[in-house]
Structure 1
Amino acid sequence: MSRDQPLPDGRYRARCRERCWERSLLGAAANGHSRVYPSADLVVVDGWAHFYRDCQEVWSCNPSYAATHFDVVAQGR
């Protein structure tokens, strides 16, 4: 997915970009992404991005932020 455009409505898999083994969770927490770390399902609907783990919403943001701060891969329906 492009980092410079907001995500269109759809289903995705989002992975935190904090990858350094020793600092990854700490880095995710510092960026406010600890609930999403290391990855979560992402649903963009009506201009808002919702992150889910175990079928529970854990965080949300605007689609531009999601595209900029997470590695996102489109999922099938």
Structure 2
Amino acid sequence: MNTVVEQYLRSQLESVEYRVTLGKNNVANITEQLAKATAELSEWEAEAQALRDALPTQVPTPTQGDGDQVPTDEVAPEDKEASE
């Protein structure tokens, strides 16, 4: 094989092998970052679930016959008169 062509091909091969090495390193770094982000996400999900579990369960609000919600902190008019 012609020496000039062989040198050119070797030079091209070295360049491609270098890019392959860089690519593999990039993939390794991205994989590591993804693993860290996944672990952090799992922690956040666990924290969110713990907060959900800590919240009291909602008690259904009583409704009037027409379907309007009755505020639970409101005192009935007859009770107001009795307390005055």
- Answer yes or no: same fold by TM over 0.5: no
Superposition TM-score, scaled by structure 1 size: 0.19
Superposition TM-score, scaled by structure 2 size: 0.18
- Between Structure 1 and Structure 2, the one with more strand by share is 1
- Between Structure 1 and Structure 2, the one with more helix by share is 2
Q: Which has the larger radius of gyration?
A: 2
